[in-house]
């Protein structure tokens, strides 16, 4: 009877229409499998529970005693991304809806303390002091990022990942994308929080990006598909914002990977830091210019008078996913990223990913397949490395170099979210999606994200709270000093 109920609940998980239904089934399944008791028992050799318990107890004590200066000091010196190894992936494989209650209580208390300090007037801790405090903590603590891979039309799956994270307040501020991932990143980066529900509406966008031109067009170097059609689609959905303007509008940092065609040039990460005046749609168009499918792109920017002019006439750019599908290292340098959420939809990558399902664990039955995948990747990388250095003619050498780069990249993150492809998915890869297909892919993206939510929350919730506090402080008008009700703070208990 119990086994039958477990099978029924697992089917409900796979077919859940929304997060509430999924969570209800997951909670019941956790209860039947004994995971509730595991969460309540904070003792474990998987993490330093004594340290986390002590920090939690101190934060609560300072709150109760209104000892806000000690609370400030405790947060400033005590916040660390992986305190007591609480980010250990093993802590998130047992329960479907969470981890140890001690970890969850600590994260909740930290966020409550941060919000309290942000929104409560405290003597000796004025608005400039608060801004400095939160910015320094965010710099030392780090922040999460969402990276969206290539995958042609199958990249609509990314919208489901975004929807699941946004609904739970876990959508990172830093978004990076390559190829179709750049399209989705650009779309998200120009929409404010209030506009996201409309952005996720399958009927709200002009999605006719594909228009076949034919083999002769490809042989002439103009690509199999009509780039003007894709450009019209991007401009209709993204608008005429520069990277700088998009950030000012939404507070989100868009990052787009693009690869120069010319030799002696490295892949670029286009963003508000590196190319603030570049038009977002132009960077996205370049990142989506898959060699053979679309021709290389001349990037466009706004000049000092707001006129649209070439970014550089000597360089042309193509698909960013070929060389830098997931620009993790660059994001770490630019934004202090310490945690990556990867939505991976590349059809040549997804079959090689392991551990994507919530119940998927390495076992002896699957070991031969894991070994086979590893061997194919290892020997394929070695073969194409040899060919790119030694082969002639030049065209074959360049193709081998691109294949080597594809196989040598890392395509996963700290959390990797990926679909389970079937034949019906591949049939839609290079076709304009209808609203029914968009709805289905969004739901598949949500379902793939829900099992990862607990781990994402543990990593991202504190950083997201810090970013929101900084935004509120930056936007808040300083009240007249006579109107402030100041809460006194003391260094003594």
What pLDDT score was predicted for residue 143?
A: 93
Q: How confident is the model at residue 476 (pLDDT cuts 50, 70, 90)?
A: confident
Say if residue 298's pLDDT is above 50.
yes
Measure the CA–CA gap between 269 and 286, rounded to whole angstroms.
12
What pLDDT score was predicted for residue 129?
A: 94
Cα angle, residue 334 at apex, residues 330 and 337 outer, rounded to 5°: 80
Mean pLDDT of 344-369: 61
Task: Determine the length of the chain.
Answer: 493
| Percentage, residues of the chain above pLDDT 90 | 63
User: pLDDT (tens digit, 9 = 90+) per residue, 91-106?
Assistant: 999 999 999 999 999 9
User: pLDDT (tens digit, 9 = 90+) per residue, 111-157?
Assistant: 999 999 999 999 999 999 999 999 999 999 999 999 999 999 999 99
Residue 420 is encoded by which pair of tokens? 């389970």
Contact 42, 102 (CB under 8 A): yes
**Cis peptide leading into residue 482 (ω within 30°):** no
Say if residue 203's pLDDT is above 50.
yes
What pLDDT score was predicted for residue 243?
A: 97
What pLDDT score was predicted for residue 392?
A: 61
pTM of this structure: 0.84
What pLDDT score was predicted for residue 215?
A: 81
What pLDDT score was predicted for residue 32?
A: 92
- Work out whether strand 174-177 and strand 143-148 pair parallel, antiparallel, or are unpaired: parallel
What pLDDT score was predicted for residue 492?
A: 37
User: pLDDT (tens digit, 9 = 90+) per residue, 222-263?
Assistant: 788 999 999 999 999 999 999 999 999 999 999 999 988 876
| Partners of 3 in beta bridges | none
User: pLDDT (tens digit, 9 = 90+) per residue, 415-434?
Assistant: 999 999 988 898 888 899 99
Which 3 state secondary structure label does DSSP give 417?
strand
Q: In which residue are the tokens 């952005």 written?
A: 199
Residue 222 C-alpha from the chain's centroid:
33
Say if residue 220's pLDDT is above 60.
yes
Say if residue 386's pLDDT is above 70.
no
Cα angle, residue 27 at apex, residues 146 and 360 outer, rounded to 5°: 55
- Work out whether strand 174-177 and strand 253-260 pair parallel, antiparallel, or are unpaired: parallel
- Work out whether strand 337-343 and strand 253-260 pair parallel, antiparallel, or are unpaired: unpaired
| H/E stretch holding 317 | strand 317-319
Query: What's the count of helices (H) and strands (E) in the chain, helices before strands?
Result: 21, 9
Mean pLDDT of 287-303: 91
Mean pLDDT of 194-219: 85
Q: What mean pLDDT, rounded, does the chain reach?
A: 85
What pLDDT score was predicted for residue 442?
A: 96
| H/E stretch holding 341 | strand 337-343
What pLDDT score was predicted for residue 266?
A: 73
User: pLDDT (tens digit, 9 = 90+) per residue, 12-53?
Assistant: 999 999 999 999 999 999 999 999 999 999 999 999 999 999
């Amino acid at each position: 009877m119990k086994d039958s109920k477990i099978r029924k609940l697992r089917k409900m998980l796979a077919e859940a229409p929304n997060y509430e239904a999924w969570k209800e089934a997951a909670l019941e399944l956790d209860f039947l499998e004994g995971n509730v008791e595991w969460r309540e028992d904070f003792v474990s050799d998987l993490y330093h529970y004594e340290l986390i318990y002590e920090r939690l107890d101190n934060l609560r004590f300072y709150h109760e005693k209104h000892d806000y200066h000690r609370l400030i000091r405790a947060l400033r010196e005590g916040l660390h991304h992986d305190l007591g190894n609480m980010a250990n992936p093993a802590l998130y494989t047992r329960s479907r809806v969470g981890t140890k209650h001690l970890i969850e209580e600590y994260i909740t208390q930290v966020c409550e303390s941060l919000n309290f300090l942000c929104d409560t007037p405290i003597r000796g801790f004025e608005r400039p002091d608060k801004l400095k405090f939160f910015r320094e903590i965010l710099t030392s603590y780090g922040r999460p990022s969402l990276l969206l891979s290539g995958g042609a039309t199958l990249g609509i799956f990314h919208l489901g990942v975004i929807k699941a994270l946004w609904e739970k307040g876990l959508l990172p501020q830093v978004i990076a994308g390559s190829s179709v991932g750049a399209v989705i990143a650009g779309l998200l980066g120009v929409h404010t929080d209030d506009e996201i529900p409309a952005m996720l509406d399958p009927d709200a966008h002009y999605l006719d990006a594909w228009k076949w031109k034919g083999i002769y067009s490809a042989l002439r170097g103009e690509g199999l598909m009509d780039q003007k059609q894709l450009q019209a689609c991007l401009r209709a959905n993204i608008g005429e914002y520069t990277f700088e303007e998009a950030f000012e509008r939404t507070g989100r940092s868009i990052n787009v990977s693009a690869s120069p065609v010319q030799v002696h040039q490295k892949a670029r990460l286009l963003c508000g830091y590196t190319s603030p005046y570049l038009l977002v749609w132009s960077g996205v168009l370049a990142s989506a210019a898959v060699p053979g499918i679309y021709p290389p792109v001349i990037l466009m920017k706004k000049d000092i008078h707001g006129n649209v002019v070439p970014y550089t006439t000597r360089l042309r750019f193509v698909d960013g996913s070929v060389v830098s599908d997931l620009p993790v290292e660059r994001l770490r340098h630019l934004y202090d990223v310490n945690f990556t959420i990867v939505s991976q939809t590349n059809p040549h990558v997804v079959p090689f990913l392991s551990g994507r399902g919530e119940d998927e664990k390495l076992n002896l039955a699957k070991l031969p397949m894991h070994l086979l995948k590893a061997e194919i990747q290892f020997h394929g990388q070695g073969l194409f490395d040899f060919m790119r250095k030694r082969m002639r003619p030049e065209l074959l050498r360049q193709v081998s170099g691109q294949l080597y780069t594809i196989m040598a990249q890392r395509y996963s993150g700290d959390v990797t979210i990926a679909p389970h492809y079937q034949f019906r998915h591949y049939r839609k890869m290079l076709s304009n999606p209808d609203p029914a297909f968009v709805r289905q892919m969004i739901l598949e993206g949500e379902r793939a994200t829900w099992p990862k939510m607990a781990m994402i929350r543990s990593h991202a919730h504190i950083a997201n709270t810090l970013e929101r506090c900084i935004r509120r402080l930056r936007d808040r008008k300083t009240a007249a000093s006579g109107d402030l009700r100041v809460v006194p703070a003391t260094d003594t208990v």
